[in-house]
Amino acid sequence: MGDRLIRATAADGGIRAVGAITTRLTDEARVRHHLSYVATAALGRTMTAGLLLSANMKRAEARVNLRFQGDGPLGTVMVDAGCDGTVRGYVSHPAVELPPNAKGKLDVGGAIGRGYLYAVRDLGYGYPYSSTTEIVSGEVAEDITHYLANSEQTPSALSLGVFVEPEGVTAAGGLLIQVMPQANLDDSAVSLLESRIAAMQGFTPLLRSGKSLPEILQDLLGDLGLEIFPDVQMVRFHCGCTHDRMLRALKLLGEEELRDMIEKDGGAEAVCHFCNSVYRTDESGLEQLIAQMQQDAVASS
Ligand SMILES: [Zn+2]
């Protein structure tokens, strides 16, 4: 089954739920960036969280950026996700591997470490909202929940999971349940949801047991007037980088630097952080770029 995202409400709109299966896109990130097991889990959880958060935004161009800046060996974990179902991301040190934690699970918390989570929400109107919260555990779901409670004042329960086997990612996904601020639901509703999510014992075991997203939501919210929206959204790893954009970025280096590249390397190579695509341009490409820059300079003077 392909990667997908579904939305639902319960309690007459007082509860909003989003669920996603992200197995393929997490595996694509693993292959593109040559990620270790723990790096796959860290990036896969964060990419899934980004998709779940952007799913509640209204405009197709709305995006969410999540950046974990911890003191763990992975370095930065960066994700850019959109309401259009696309997501991309990277970690600074993709080869880092750690022994399993005390629970026998991939030690994502140890790999990310402690520090700050920077979140930027661009609703699509050109005024992004950014906020910074402390990393609570580095396990991602807990940190995002903390961010949502503090910065957005939205009580939320979030479950994220990535299951990696030697042949690749065999299950990944997540579930976000939020209690709307205007809903007349008290704290007990939130703790009820939290306890139910905790009782699920993780998202990936359910997926691996063959349960579908609607079945998982039914188990959690079936007795609270669950309504699943009929449209299923496909989600995928996608980066908007192009050869043209890379050339535009090269222009910023200035003529002198480009001449230097022609002389020393006979061309230039640039790698996109987000998707690891390599773009090359040869001597004549750089010469053309310099000619363009000179024309631009004349035109603007
Ligand atoms: Zn790219």
Q: In whole angstroms, what is the distance from residue 252 CA to residue 264 CA?
A: 19
Lowest average pLDDT, out of 26-35, 44-53, 175-184, goes to: 175-184
Q: What proportion of the chain, given as a percentage, has pLDDT over 70?
A: 98
> Distance from the CA of 117 to the center of ligand 1, in angstroms?
23
Q: Which fold has domain 243-300?
A: CBS domain Like (3.90.1280)
Q: In whole angstroms, what is the distance from residue 220 CA to residue 226 CA?
A: 9
> Distance from the CA of 32 to the center of ligand 1, in angstroms?
10
pLDDT at 3: 97
* Residue 115 contacts residue 132 (beta carbons within 8 Å): no
Give the pairing type, strands 86-91 and 236-237.
parallel
> Distance from the CA of 239 to the center of ligand 1, in angstroms?
5
Using the predicted structure, report yes or no on whether residue 192 has a pLDDT greater than 90: no
> Distance from the CA of 209 to the center of ligand 1, in angstroms?
34
> Distance from the CA of 88 to the center of ligand 1, in angstroms?
8
Using the predicted structure, report yes or no on whether residue 166 has a pLDDT greater than 90: yes
Q: In whole angstroms, what is the distance from residue 212 CA to residue 171 CA?
A: 12
| Per-residue pLDDT tens digits for 99-130 | 999 988 999 999 999 999 999 999 888 789 99
> Distance from the CA of 192 to the center of ligand 1, in angstroms?
41
> Distance from the CA of 90 to the center of ligand 1, in angstroms?
10
> Distance from the CA of 266 to the center of ligand 1, in angstroms?
23
> Distance from the CA of 39 to the center of ligand 1, in angstroms?
19
What is the band of 184 on the pLDDT scale with cuts at 50, 70, 90?
low
What is the band of 275 on the pLDDT scale with cuts at 50, 70, 90?
very high
Average pLDDT of the segment spanning 248-254: 87
Give the start-to-end residue ranges of the domains of the chain.
Answer: 4-237, 243-300
Using the predicted structure, report yes or no on whether residue 187 has a pLDDT greater than 90: no
Indicate yes or no: pTM above 0.95.
no
> Distance from the CA of 275 to the center of ligand 1, in angstroms?
4
| Per-residue pLDDT tens digits for 193-239 | 778 777 777 788 888 888 899 999 998 899 989 999 999 999 999 99
pLDDT at 186: 65
CATH match for 4-237 among 3.90.1570.10, 3.55.30.10, 3.40.50.1820, 3.40.50.10420:
3.55.30.10
Residues whose CB falls within 8 Å of the CB of residue 184, separated by 6 or more in sequence, listed in order: 14
- CA nearest neighbour of 136 among 106, 109, 157, 101: 109
pLDDT at 183: 65
> Distance from the CA of 235 to the center of ligand 1, in angstroms?
17
> Distance from the CA of 297 to the center of ligand 1, in angstroms?
29
For the ranges 117-121, 146-150, 244-248, the maximum mean pLDDT occurs at 117-121
